[in-house]
Chain A
Amino acid sequence: MDIVFIFEWLDASWLSDLARTSAGLFSMVQAVHILSMIMLCGMIILGDLRMLNVVLTGVPSAVIIQNTKKWIYIGLAGIILSGIYESSAIAMKLATNSFFWAKMAGLAMGIIFMLSVRSAVYSRAPEVIGSNGSQSDPVDAWVVKLVAVAHLFIWFSVAANGRWIGFS
């Protein structure tokens, strides 16, 4: 499916004109993009490292996962909205950039994996990891840790490919 027309439309839009002509606004939005990414990845790293029994082991994992959820969604909204604005300035360049597509693939994969597998597995974490009280039918501890590692790998790729766009 050819989706270059979306980039052509974005390139010709008023948003693109604004991004190209307002250097001050662009730099502020870029800062929002980076801060949103920091918040998103920070919350994700906190939850996943808790599941790997590395940080905050005295706090029940359910408390950490529940409390970081809202900030993950805020971070996601921030990176997507600021990302659309940023990409409008160089839309046609991004359409053929392999790192951009790798980042988008990682972002889609990260969101799907987080909302489906990660969420389901973490809610059934065994007591040895979760400190949530005894679960009637918990998932094996090694599965929880494997999911945490895979999830961290996905978001590492999103961040690294995002940075790599700037080098290419």
Chain B
Amino acid sequence: MTTNTLGKIAALCSVVIIIGWGIYWGVQVQDTMCLLEASESIDMPECLENM
């Protein structure tokens, strides 16, 4: 494999991983914040319906 091809594949894989990581942890943090809100309030928060 040429260095140029390797560089392109490596950059593409890395960008996909970093974006995927951001989306995954973004959702996890959002869900956690929602569960925290649910544990502190008497009424069911709207965000629970979307989980």
Contact = CB atoms under 8 A, between A and B. Distances in A.
A128 B14 CA distance: 21
A157 B7 contact: no
Interface residues of A, number: 19
A121 B6 contact: yes
| Dominant secondary structure of chain A at its interface with chain B | helix
Contacts of B2: 137
A7 interface: no
Interface in A129-143: 137-140, 143
Given A117-B9, A124-B6, A137-B3, A157 B24 contact: yes
Interface in A94-138: 102, 109, 113, 117, 120-121, 124, 137-138
A153 interface: yes
| Dominant secondary structure of chain B at its interface with chain A | helix
B21 A146 contact: no
B6 A139 contact: yes
A140 B11 CA distance: 10
16 contacts: A109-B17, A113-B17, A117-B13, A117-B14, A120-B1, A120-B6, A121-B7, A138-B3, A139-B3, A143-B10, A146-B11, A146-B14, A147-B14, A150-B14, A157-B21, A157-B25
Interface of A: 102, 109, 113, 117, 120-121, 124, 137-140, 143, 146-147, 149-150, 153-154, 157
